[in-house]
Amino acid sequence: MNRKESALVCILFFIYLSEDIVYICDKMIV
């Protein structure tokens, strides 16, 4: 996955799951 795709997945996770996923997304993108 490229960075844009990772960010999109993070947005979808944020919508469907909880704010806790943001912590995981930060680790994925960085």
**pLDDT one-digit tens code per residue, 1-30:** 578 888 888 787 777 776 666 677 677 766
d(CA 23, CA 17): 12
Entry pTM: 0.40
Give just the sign of the alpha carbon dihedral 3, 24, 22, 8: positive
8 Å CB contact between 21 and 13? yes
Place of tokens 């944020």: 14
What is the structure's pLDDT at 29? Answer: 66
What is the structure's pLDDT at 19? Answer: 64
